[in-house]
Amino acid sequence: MKHFLSVLALILITTTSTHASTTQVYWHKMLPNSPMPRAIMDLISSDELGEEKTGTAVNVGKGGVVVNTGKSGGSGTNVNVGHGGVGVNVKGKGNTQVGVGKGGVNVNTGPKGKPVVVKVHPGGSPFDYNYAATETQVHDDPHVALFFLEKDLSPGSKFDLQFTKTTSGSPFLSRSQANTIPFSSNKLPGILTRFQVEPNSITAETMKKTLVECEEPAMDGESKFCATSLESMVEFSMMSLGTRDVQASSTTVKEKSGDVEVKKTFSVAPAGVRALGGEKLVACHAQPYPYAVFFCHATGKSKAYKMALEGNDGMKVEAVAVCHLDTAKWNSKHLAFQVLKVKPGSVPVCHFLPEDHVVWSVSK
């Protein structure tokens, strides 16, 4: 237990101090002309966004770990370890609570929304094109609605969509810290011990699934990589695109309305659709894990688009979509083919990006 408290305290300190003071500097040095998208910004400490802190104090006692961020009024972060798992209560704006229990990982963002539960989704990831969809996945996976055909990408087109985050939003670690933590299915028992995760829990199964999918061989013509830090994601994307002149984009909910957990009908706004640069992209998909991990891949000729979507209840979304021009080497039973009723290689297959995924393209 003491080891776990030390690890958790180290993660909290790193994400609120040292790493917080370097990530923005790294981003602006490597990507001076690319704004940081919301999907990445949300995984970085509030320190990076201009909130001053006078220091961080960590105390480990019977009540758990208390991290005092040095703000006036005694605001800080309380980490409590009990029978229900791990609870993290961040005082001040937003009041974030994190609990790890038998049901998986719950993140309560206070007034911002409902708890997010990390679950083991049926079948493989819909963004790994080697996998065949299970019957359960075809009927129950919320990602089903994200797939569409390129011919439907025009002003006035309607889509029934649910824009939510697919993971609990675990924070980025610095590359130096991430490199000290094993990331291999062969090391899973030790990883679970390190994070005090019960071996037979849903959380353990989710972590195992992430590791196994990261270790699967790439398809012909695909390059893939699981980024365990922001630095490694940026550099893989630049290497894959063959240039440092890249930009990152993500889907952003601009105006929320009603219950965001409910599927709604969206129309492509009259302003239309804007293409991002080039026919080579790197898509990075957030994975469920104790810290931020992204499954990144470049899959041949692709196009990326940004568009304004308007919900039938007033919700506004700046959506990012990717269209794959050559799907001939995808698994013939992939979710997209079963949903769209098309065959591999017959037509371009498109999908919207969930809020916490990122696409990298060459800057125009």
Residue 136 reports pLDDT greater than 50? yes
pTM of structure = 0.71
Contacts (Cβ under 8 Å, ≥6 apart) of 146: 126, 161, 351, 352, 353, 354
Whole-angstrom Cα distance, residue 212 to residue 190? 16
CA 229, distance to chain mean position in Å, is 12
| Residue 276 placed within a domain | yes
| Residue 38 placed within a domain | yes
| Residue 23 placed within a domain | yes
Please check whether residue 362 is in contact with residue 278, taking contact to mean a CB–CB distance below 8 angstroms: yes
Q: Which of 102-106, 148-152, 226-230 has the lowest mean pLDDT?
A: 102-106
Question: Mean per-residue pLDDT for 1-6?
Answer: 44
What type of residue is 80?
N
Supply the pLDDT for residue 258.
Answer: 63
| Residue 8 placed within a domain | no
Please check whether residue 307 is in contact with residue 251, taking contact to mean a CB–CB distance below 8 angstroms: no
User: Per residue in 261-284, pLDDT tens?
Assistant: 677 899 999 887 999 988 899 999
* The Cα angle at residue 142 between residues 126 and 147, in degrees rounded to 5: 55
Supply the pLDDT for residue 15.
Answer: 43
Q: Which residue has the higher pLDDT, 22 or 180?
A: 180
| Residue 75 placed within a domain | no
What type of residue is 347?
V
Q: How confident is the model at residue 146 (pLDDT cuts 50, 70, 90)?
A: confident
Residue 116 reports pLDDT greater than 70? no
CA 98, distance to chain mean position in Å, is 17
Contacts (Cβ under 8 Å, ≥6 apart) of 82: none
User: Per residue in 180-203, pLDDT tens?
Assistant: 999 999 999 999 999 999 999 999
Domain span including residue 246: 18-52+94-362
| Residue 11 placed within a domain | no
| Residue 247 placed within a domain | yes
Please check whether residue 347 is in contact with residue 336, taking contact to mean a CB–CB distance below 8 angstroms: no
Supply the pLDDT for residue 336.
Answer: 81
How many domains would you assign to the chain?
1
Residue 24 reports pLDDT greater than 70? yes
| Residue 5 placed within a domain | no
User: What's 44's DSSP letter?
Assistant: S
Please check whether residue 49 is in contact with residue 41, taking contact to mean a CB–CB distance below 8 angstroms: yes
Question: Mean per-residue pLDDT for 215-224?
Answer: 90
